[in-house]
Amino acid sequence: MNPPYLLGVLGGMGPLATVDFMHKLLLATPAVNDQQQIPVVAWNVPQIADRQRALAGKGPSPLPQLLQALNKLTEAGASHIAIPCNTAHHWYDALAAASAVPVLHIVETTLSALETLTERPKHVGLIATQGTLDAGWYQQGLTKLGISPVLPTAKEMDEWFVPGCYAVKRDERVQAGELLLRQALALQERGAQILILACTEVPLALQAVDTSSLTPTLDPATLLAERCSQLWQAQHPF
């Protein structure tokens, strides 16, 4: 018999993206009353060291704080762990090795969803932190599926992505959306048929601006929420 389902959300990266993920969990579950919604315990502690700075060699590693969060969630009874931050998956192997319960992988979840598309695109754009791009998880997965990744340039990262990402953290979402929309359109102009919003703060920014001119997007946070909901519903069918 499976243990009681209690989802642990290892968040705080950033805090608004974590709240957004919690909302996506609700939307992903076709509940008709409170009791059918996913039981969740969340660690939304934004003092976790900056992931981008750590990977750039400009700040401390967040791993000790991530391990502390993992322990707190498992102590609270979490049966599964979700991490609504793509860049934090740089430390996924260490976290999974230290965890007594399954740690879901946001990148694998996204690539699995892409694989099931009826019409698979030939070119997919990535909007992500430099750390996520350098890790190559999405590029490797896309290549295995016969899809060519379309990546931001260094200039675009400096002028659009990074300031857009940090504008979300200041809750200046219109400014963030304007910057990240430019990034999205640039990838689209270079042939991207679908855009993967591979940073959990990007969807929050794009919601604040008119994206009617954009090609379809995939939101890994939404797909991760749907995966969490599927696991819940498998134990508690409605």
184-222 residues labelled b (16+ CB within 10 A) or e (exposed) = bbbbbeeebbbbbbbbbbbbbbbebbebeebbebbbbbb
Query: Cβ distance 66 to 85 under 8 Å?
Result: no
Tokens of 186: 């640039």
CB atoms within 10 A of CB 137: 22
110-116 contacts at long range (C-beta below 8 A, 24 or more positions apart): 110/138, 110/196, 110/198, 110/218, 110/220, 110/223, 110/224, 111/138, 111/141, 111/142, 111/145, 113/218, 113/223, 114/142, 114/145, 114/147, 114/194, 114/196, 114/218, 115/145
Identify the bridge partners of residue 216 per DSSP, sorted by sequence position. Answer: none
Q: To 10 degrees, the CA torsion angle through 9, 107, 188, 158?
A: 70
Tokens of 170: 């200041």
Active-site positions read: 85, 199
